[in-house]
Amino acid sequence: MRGDGSIYTANGEKSNGEQRAETSVEGSRLDDLLGALADPRRRLVVQYFLHSSDDVATVTDLARYVADRREDEEFESVAVALHHKDVSKLDEADVIEYDPRTETVRYVGSELVSDILGRADANADSGPVTTTAGPDALEHLSDALAADDPVEKDFCIRQALQYVHFERDE
């Protein structure tokens, strides 16, 4: 539940007062943080700071960095999106501090932010994945589509997933 005041450890377990991990974060803060990092442009902004020695950058510098890494977006559209949406979202999540007078961004992220993005980078760099599904998977998915009962639908989907195989291409 968002904003319930619960404390979660970095590995997502609810803390019962014991220190299970170095980093603990309130549930609502974690929601804000994950929401801010859900967008690829915002992740690239954070990666700019994680992969450089700079702690401060202009919005224009960040837009150039992001546009260079996103083939489907032009510099102008990235600059507008950063200025009107993405920078403020990261600021609200306390990942960065934004000074609108100078249009500069200062990175204030935590170990949790770098850990989350480090894991995402590791998964992204491991290559494309090939997915194959046997005929049994399709049969179970067909049953799921026909089911009216949500429990039966869930069961059929879980059954189908047993016949789906993922292989990482080398």
Residues 57 and 82 in one domain: yes
Residues 76 and 138 in one domain: no
Residues 54 and 111 in one domain: yes
Cα separation of 33 and 96, whole Å? 11
Residues 117 and 142 in one domain: no
pLDDT tens digits for range 148-166: 888 888 788 878 878 877 6
Cα separation of 6 and 29, whole Å? 10
Structural domain total, the chain: 2
Residue 160's domain comprises 129-168
Residues 101 and 133 in one domain: no
Which pTM does this prediction carry? 0.59
CATH number of the domain encompassing residue 53: 1.10.10
Triad 157, 38, 99: Cα angle to 5°:
170
Residue 57 in any domain: the answer is yes
pLDDT tens digits for range 83-104: 999 999 999 999 999 999 999 9
